[in-house]
Amino acid sequence: MPSYQAPLRDFRFVMDEILDYPRHYAQLPQADEVTPDVVSAILEEGARFTREVLLPLNRTGDEQGCRLEGGEVLTPSGFKEAYAQYVEGGWPSLAGDTAYHGQGLPTSLGMMLSEMVCSSNLAWGMYPGLSQGAADALRHHGSVEQKAQYLTKLNDGTWTGSMCLTEPQCGTDLGLIKTRARPDEAGGYLITGTKIFISAGEHDLAENIVHLVLAKLPDAPEGTKGISLFVVPKYLPDAEGEAGERNAVSCGALEHKMGIHGNATCVMNFDGARGYLVGEPHKGLACMFTMMNVARIGVGIQGLGLMEVSFQNALAYARDRLQMRALSGARETDKPADPIISHPDVRRMLLTQKALAEGGRMLVLHAAQLADRVEGATSDVERETVETELGLLTPIVKAFLTEVGFEATNEGVQVFGGHGYIREWGMEQYVRDARITRLYEGTTGIQALDLLGRKVLMSQGEALKPFTKQIHKFCKAHEANDAMAEFVMPLAKLNAEWGDLTMAVGMKAMQDREEVGAASVDYLMYSGYVTLAFFWARAAQAAHQALASNPDDAAFYRAKLETARFYYQRLLPRTRAHAEMIRAGSETLMAMQAEDFGLGFAM
Ligand SMILES: Cc1cc2nc3c(=O)[nH]c(=O)nc-3n(C[C@H](O)[C@H](O)[C@H](O)COP(=O)(O)OP(=O)(O)OC[C@H]3O[C@@H](n4cnc5c(N)ncnc54)[C@H](O)[C@@H]3O)c2cc1C
């Protein structure tokens, strides 16, 4: 069975030596609560909980999956007990609003815990993960009564949440939804329709499930402008606010799927279920975006968590497995062969995993600081500035980290050779589990359109500038430092090229809108590699600084420098291919008639 140790040393390096978390926390409104001791205690207890409680359930959860019996969904053995321990430990309320049973700690702490949960048991982690998104949507858009009723229960974990958007005829294009909401005499609405692929739509972990449902009112305008958001509980709250009468919402079927078997993916039927409007009529999509933005970063963290655990296990195997002698001569002469970690190609795979996971962690912890700052902003200008940067980075966190997450988990299988393909070792589960992360919460293609079309080009490139300015500033500050030249010079060049490529696509798009779609995924990947290069340069600089003081754990810092070099020399050159493909434009993609694609097999 795979093992997992939360990478606490690496968390500390990123938090203390790169992103200055102590100062960041000291500047937040919760400064008095989020002391260094509290942060350490949360990280250490999170590491223990995920290793001891969640990790042992990962494989059995995959093998057993969920079952639908008499309309009830039964989760794999141990999931319910683990959830009870999670609630008992106060984890659901960590970053919740103090007015509604929350502990009010910064969002970033929840994100750190989330990485550990995703590494140890992704399928289990999706149950509380969806509650978090539901709670955020209600916190921002719910009425006072809705907050008192639902937010309190979501924060203390006695109820969980779900997010009901997708229908058989629409996933990406929510303007096509058919679920209807009809006003009833009691001042609420009756919701009728079918939602599919609903994660955690039904299960046995909590007393009640709070569904957030997109539906259309009778007078709704066509398309996405006519969508409203409703809260639809599985059990209607009674006079005491507890789960009361059963609502007309049920799970019609469970999907059989490639991975995350322990998470229930449900067909949800709403048969005149009682629901309550959240926010204004026809403005549901904007409310849902609150939930989706949180969820998108959450999915990027899923990619990160899976990379980390796959790397840890591939590394242990590569140190142990003996095959062939090293090309330059035997390394371990007392053994019949050398460990496979001696071979350059195995090292390439391990370093790819390590560089992407540790680079991804720096990006996520930076985004997490931005999320804290949005919450703690003291002026509209400050909030808007931070939101712009977080808005730019969100599709990169979501799509880049899940694309490379899938690659890294695949490399994990490759390090194990044929044994990686055999279920017993657990490595193939990470690949199957990682595959969905590129799809849900908006596919990579949709995230790429969001980044290039909505965020960068719609703002005439303004959304990109504050981030590229930070990179520019860093490069300027270290340009005279010879030890940093190997990082700063290529980074400065790529940073300038990022702006040039944006301009080039923007110009072409003025003639032909298809240019945006043609460039978008390569643009996103290019942006991801440059973003991680910025963080790896910062890691290298921090490592140089630490090594100058002769630290006890010099090996840690040397490994950081070596990984940074690997990233720059072996992964960053991928930007060349992406830049070429961005420049190639839309012609080759759009020239062929749709009916000509299949001429080779036309009957
Ligand atoms: C296991 C699982 C769990 C899920 N959980 C939830 C959940 O909890 N709640 C929920 O509401 N949904 C959930 N989903 C649904 C998921 O979010 C959608 O499947 C996803 O958004 C894609 O929608 P679709 O499947 O309809 O694909 P489509 O929208 O049909 O897309 C098919 C392909 O076309 C591409 N495409 C579509 N439009 C464009 C465009 N304009 N430009 C470029 N490319 C385009 C897409 O990128 C994709 O590659 C889940 C799905 C799965 C499989």
**Cα 85 to averaged position of ligand 1 atoms, centre (Å):** 33
Query: What amino acid positions are annotated as catalytic residues?
Result: 441
- The yes-or-no verdict on residue 235 having pLDDT over 90 is yes
Q: Among 162, 163, 172, which is best to mutate for testing ligand 1, by the most ligand atoms less than 8 A from CB?
A: 172
Q: What is the pTM of this model?
A: 0.98
Q: How many Å separate Cα 228 from the centre of its chain?
A: 26
Nearest-CA residue for ligand 1 atom 51 is 197
Does residue 303 contact residue 405 with C-beta atoms inside 8 Å?
yes
Buried b (16+ CB within 10 A) or exposed e, 340-350: bbbbeebbebb
Nearest to 92 by CA among 37, 153, 11: 153
Rounded Cα–Cα distance for residues 572 and 454 (Å): 26
- Separation of CA 363 from chain center: 11
Cα distance between residue 412 and residue 356, in whole Å: 13
Judge whether 401 and 447 are in contact, CB under 8 Å.
Answer: no
CB atoms within 10 A of CB 243: 19
Give me 490's structure tokens. 């290529």
With the most atoms of ligand 1 within 8 angstroms of its CB, the residue from 62, 166, 288 to mutate is 166
Over the stretch 301-339, which tens digit does the pLDDT of each residue have?
A: 999 999 999 999 999 999 999 999 999 999 999 999 999
Q: What is the 3-state secondary structure (H, E, C) of 332-370?
A: CCCCCCCEHHHCHHHHHHHHHHHHHHHHHHHHHHHHHHH
43-70 pLDDT per residue, tens = 999 999 999 999 999 999 999 999 999 9
- Ligand 1, residue 439: give the atom nearest the CA: 20
* Exposure of 511 in the CB half-sphere (CA atoms within 13 A): 8
Residues 212-232 have pLDDT tens digits of 999 999 999 998 889 999 999
The single residue listed with the structure tokens 């072996």 is 570
Residues 6+ apart with CB under 8 A from 153: 159, 208, 210, 241
- Which residues contact ligand 1 via a Cβ below 6 A? 163-166, 171-172, 197-199, 257, 265, 436, 439-443, 445-446, 449, 517
- Distance (angstroms) between ligand 1 centre and the Cα of 214 equals 15
Per-residue confidence (pLDDT) for residue 603, from 0 to 100: 63
Atom of ligand 1 nearest to the CA of 446: 47
- Which one of 209, 443, 590 would you pick to mutate in the ligand 1 pocket, going by the greatest count of ligand atoms within 8 A of its CB? 443
Distance between Cα 443 and ligand 1 center (Å) = 6
